[in-house]
């Protein structure tokens, strides 16, 4: 039962940043989730780098539970950046097209 919920949360972390239309909400969402994830990674790194840490069989599973949502959020942020680039290029193309058509009409 936990695996579908885990995948649903990861999918939501992937899709949600892409769907935001305002940059303010995008950054609020990403910081609200990204900062705790970064702190969890820092804590994990500190715990693993201790000399008395011998590791355990569950360490890889715990890393996967942290890695999958982190990658999903980072990929969602990257896809939102690509969406922004496409929107900028499309608006520039429309401006050039409208400028060219208005020049053609004035002749």
- pLDDT, one tens digit per residue, over 10-44 is 999 999 999 998 989 999 999 999 999 999 999 98
Q: How far apart are CA 13 and CA 36, in angstroms?
A: 14
- State the burial class of residue 59 (Cβ atoms within 10 Å of its Cβ: 0-12, 13-18, 19+): middle
How many helices and strands, by DSSP H and E, does the chain display? 3, 0
The residue that leads in pLDDT, 64 or 33, is 33
* Token couple for 45: 């790194």
CA–CA gap between residue 2 and residue 98 (Å, rounded):
53
Distance between CA atoms of residues 84 and 30, nearest Å: 16
Q: pLDDT tens for residues 81-101?
A: 999 999 999 999 999 998 888
Q: Residue 107: what pLDDT?
A: 66
């Amino acid at each position: 039962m936990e695996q579908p919920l885990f995948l649903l949360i990861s999918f939501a972390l992937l899709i949600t940043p892409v769907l935001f239309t305002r940059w303010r909400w995008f950054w609020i969402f990403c910081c609200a989730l990204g900062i705790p994830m970064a702190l969890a990674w820092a804590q994990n790194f500190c715990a693993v780098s201790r000399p008395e840490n011998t590791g355990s069989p569950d360490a890889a599973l715990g890393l996967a539970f942290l890695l999958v949502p982190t990658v999903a959020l980072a990929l969602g942020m990257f896809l939102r950046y690509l969406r922004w680039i496409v929107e900028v290029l499309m608006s520039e193309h429309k401006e050039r097209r409208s400028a060219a058509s208005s020049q053609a009409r004035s002749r």
